[in-house]
Chains A and B, each alone.
Chain A
Amino acid sequence: MNKIVLGLLVGALLGAIDGGTAWFTPAVRPAIVGIIFGSTFKGLIAGVAAGIFARKVNSVPLGILFGLAVGFVLAFLVAYLQHGYYFEIILPGSIVGGLVGWATQRYGAPVAAAAPAR
């Protein structure tokens, strides 16, 4: 499995789980389906970005930092659109990005070598 596909899968899974934790906040429980979909979509974008980064840069610390940064930016945009819950959305969202960055650095096949010129 290549790193981008892996990033997509891990990002979607962790995004869905992260969205699902909204169930523990009674105030937003009625909107949980939308939150899970939105969070999954956010995870997908973070996964693709982290996968592309992992294909270009081979470093676990840098991959985690990149994932944290992407997760932070995406979560900030979501929180900004929500006009609230900044900490509750941004902090876990960043960590989910970091986890996706870690997974894409540690696992997934690197780019296949180009065929030699004839």
Chain B
Amino acid sequence: MTAFLNDKAVERLRSVGALSDFSGTRYILQEFLARGGMGAVYAAQDKTLNRRVAIKVLDSADRHDALQERLVREARVLAQLEHPGIVPVHDAGTLADGRVFYVMKFVEGSRIDQFLASVPSLPERLRLFLRICETVSFAHSRGILHRDLKPSNVMVGAFGEVLVMDWGLAKILRPDSNARSEETVRSTEPLLGAVAGGGETQITSVTRDGMILGTPGFMSPEQAQGKSSSLDVRSDIFSLGKLLGTILTQTKNAKAIRVPRALGAICEKAAAENPAGRYASVSALAEDISRYLDGMPVSAYPENFWERAQRFYTRYQAAILLITVYLLMRAAFVFFGRS
């Protein structure tokens, strides 16, 4: 075979062979975009609505595979979270070969860590972080933890929209803490025939105590210890603290950025080893960032007199300068002017 085809052609055939088969669906596969832990993401054309979409397809076709449950759960979690900071899910289904997929909005943009190279201003970086906080706070208000917040899971779109991606490890918190280790998503419309027994589908998550899911360097200590049942919003707050550290220090030319002490203290408080030492909610973390941006004191950092004076000067710099010039001018007129 290789005697008739060159290496490039063989490579092309291999890549085409590896693509998912979308025949029987309303989507035409266009290109491979990325590969994650569970499967691959492709760009495709929606024939019915004539628009470009992104499709996440699971690698495994095993109906009893835990990953299959996880992908379905991710699609349902995303479908529940209607927010400008979360990519909307348009459709979900099963391919002819048994692999599940879901269809989402095609987002053009770049990962936040790559985007930061073009954002030199600290306030702009903080405002981007606030947008991430808004999205995560929204998810928490719906009882959902992300559990995998990191730079590669945050995208900045072509119009500056900030999107929190990859909810594959999301945990659904139940109101009764005793049942937290078993996460349940209920739906009246079954997606998987094998899992759905009747009108109501019940998918039980495979996340149990002892199983470690997340990204080292960004996951909380309790998450790294596999204490899935004891995770709460403070676990995401830890990841947000680490993410804030990255957002503050990421540069294009590897030149170290001097992080202001107040912001350093916010990072430290958010990413404290002990959950009790962290912010109680994402909105409390965002409030501290907003206060810093407004030139106000932050709860994470007790200032001394000089730091308070410096902050006061920075906040009212223009007015202080104008008043000083006015007073100096008036004094000059009094002492050196016409009597």
Contacts and interface: CB of A to CB of B under 8 A. Distances in A.
Contacts of B338: 25, 27
Nearest to B331: A24
A91 B337 CA distance: 13
A92 B318 CA distance: 16
A25 B339 CA distance: 6
Interface stretch (B13-21, B104-112, B134-142, B321-329): B321-329
A64 interface: yes
B330 A64 contact: no
A21 B322 contact: no
Contacts of B329: 91-92, 95
Contact of B330 (A21, A61, A99): A21
Nearest to A96: B326
A76 B326 CA distance: 17
A26 interface: yes
B322 A88 contact: no
Interface residues of B, number: 13
A60 interface: yes
B142 to A, nearest CB: 26
Q: Is the interface of A mostly helix, strand, loop or mixed?
A: helix
A99 B322 contact: yes
B106 to A, nearest CB: 30
A66 interface: no
B3 interface: no
Interface string A75-118: 00000000000011001100110110011000000000000000
Contact of B318 (A21, A25, A60): A60
Q: Chain A, interface size: which category?
A: 10 to 19
A25 B337 contact: yes
Contacts of B326: 92, 95-96, 99
B333 A88 contact: yes
A99 B325 contact: no
Contact of B319 (A27, A91, A92, A102): A102
B334 interface: yes
B318 A24 contact: no
Given A21-B330, A88-B333, A92-B330, A27 B339 contact: yes
Main secondary structure of the interface of B (DSSP, over half): helix
B91 to A, nearest CB: 31
A27 B334 CA distance: 11
B339 A26 contact: yes
A64 B318 contact: yes
A25 B334 CA distance: 7
Interface string A36-66: 0000000000000000000000001100100
Contacts of B333: 24-25, 87-88
A91 B338 CA distance: 15
A61 B318 CA distance: 9
B339 A64 contact: no
Contact of B322 (A24, A27, A95): A95
Nearest to B334: A24
Interface string A12-27: 0000000001001111
Contacts of A61: 318
Nearest to A26: B339
Contacts of B339: 25-27
Contacts of A88: 333, 337
Give the most central of B323, B325, B333: most A CB within 10 Å. Answer: B333
Contacts of B322: 64, 95, 98-99, 102
Interface of A: 21, 24-27, 60-61, 64, 87-88, 91-92, 95-96, 98-99, 102-103
Interface of B: 318-319, 322-323, 325-326, 329-330, 333-334, 337-339
Closest 9 CB pairs of A and B: A24-B334, A95-B326, A99-B322, A98-B322, A102-B319, A88-B333, A102-B318, A95-B322, A21-B330
Given A64-B322, A92-B330, A99-B319, 10 more contacts: A21-B330, A24-B334, A25-B333, A25-B337, A27-B339, A88-B337, A92-B326, A95-B322, A95-B325, A96-B326
